[in-house]
Amino acid sequence: MSEEQAIGLITYKNAKILGIEDRLGTVEKGKLASLTVWDQNPLHLAAFPRMVMAEGAVIRKARD
């Protein structure tokens, strides 16, 4: 499986399975913004989240 397929599996495809892809799963206008900004490839074991947003609000931001 490619990295793109793996990310899609844990984002859009999960939302689709749950029947909420109209609100979550992709970054689009009108959807709830829940996302994580990583310091490197998120599939790498050493990846660390630099910022976490839930429904448009920053709920965690790493200290520099």
Long-range contacts, 31-34 (Cβ 8 Å, 24+): 32/56
Residue 25: left (phi > 0), alpha (psi -120 to 50), or beta? left
The helix/strand/coil state of 52 is strand
Compute mean pLDDT per 10 residues along the chain, 64 residues long, and list them. 91 94 90 89 94 89 83
Q: What pTM was estimated for this model as a whole?
A: 0.70
